[in-house]
Amino acid sequence: MALHKDEAIVLFKRSYGESDKIIRLFTLSSGKVAAIAKGANKSQKRFANTLEPFNHIRVEYFEKYGRGMVRIENADIVETNSGIEKSLKRACTAGFFVEFVDRLTKERERHDDLFNVLAEALQGVRAAEFSYDDILHYQLRMLEVLGFMPNFHACVYCGQAMAADEKIFFSKERGGVLCHRCAPSLPHQVCAKGVIEGIVSVQQGNGSTAPGFQAASGCAEKGPVYLNNGFEKAAQDIMEGFMTFHLDVEFKSYRILKGLIATNSE
């Protein structure tokens, strides 16, 4: 029985029987791992709230067969989820990010960059409520790390490079923008000018609340003015259509979060 030491972010927990907890961890070295914490419900001292969702922890666990559920031996806090409980929007935002990682990764697939992006996103949510730009920024970064990023730079059918003001046709089926010659013969949606470049600007920005970062909306000062004229709804439609078509996932946490975003935008 091998002892492993790693960093992890707690994605999920539930009680198992009278005394144990089932935990799903996203670890730095081994990716997503299912674990059991024996006696965690009975002994408050042993884990002392370290196994709560969104916590960033150092964990020691035993693995008996090389695969399957591991047994958590010890866990220490690197960063707690303190701050996320301050509002429903923060909780839903954190929930969306961990559900995103949970749903789009397989067991035991190592993703160092994704781990770091998730840790950074949760650190930002602890500090302040995220705007839609912040949420979109980290969503796009996660998609890029996982290799699922839509193509916002060149026509996905003929490969032609496109100027910013030409990017008005988006095909969820093809996974990116279409030029004006290819669009008529392929399914697509028409976007207002600046929306696609706005999405690119948000991706390349740094998020407005993560420590040490400048506001993603600052990108608009140097590029397209995209924050008005229904940008949020247009970007949501593009991303939701793409995710549903290509990844066949809908996120429960995002349903509530989307409503909160709309309320705050009014």
What percent of the chain lies above the pLDDT cut of 90?
A: 72
> What 3-state class would DSSP assign to 96?
helix
pLDDT value, residue 245: 94
Specify whether domain 85-265 bears CATH 3.40.109.10: no
Q: Stretch 119-123: mean pLDDT, rounded?
A: 97
pLDDT of residue 58 exceeding 90, the answer is yes
Query: What are the pLDDT digits (tens) for 147-204?
Result: 999 999 999 999 999 999 999 999 999 999 999 999 999 999 999 999 999 999 999 8
**CB count in 10 Å sphere of residue 223:** 16
- For the chain, the structural domain boundaries read 2-79, 85-265
CB 124 within 8 A of CB 172: no
Nearest-angstrom CA–CA distance, 202 and 219 = 7
**Can you name the residues that pair with 13 across neighbouring β-strands?**
23
Tell me what pLDDT residue 65 has: 67
pLDDT in tens, 199-247: 999 998 854 433 333 333 333 333 334 445 578 999 999 999 999 999 9
Alpha-carbon gap, residue 210 to 212, rounded angstroms: 6
Residue 109 is predicted with a pLDDT of: 94
Q: Which tokens belong to 150?
A: 């839509």
Q: Do domains 2-79 and 85-265 have the same CATH topology?
A: no
Q: Which residue has the tokens 């419900």?
A: 41
Q: What is the mean pLDDT of residues 39-57?
A: 87
Which of 147, 155, 156, 135 lies closest to 239 in space, CA to CA?
Answer: 135
CATH no., domain 2-79: 2.40.50.140
> What is residue 229's predicted lDDT score, i.e. its pLDDT?
54
What gap in Å lies between CA 64 and CA 71, rounded to an integer?
A: 9
Least confident of 98-107, 116-125, 225-234, 237-246: 225-234
DSSP 185: G
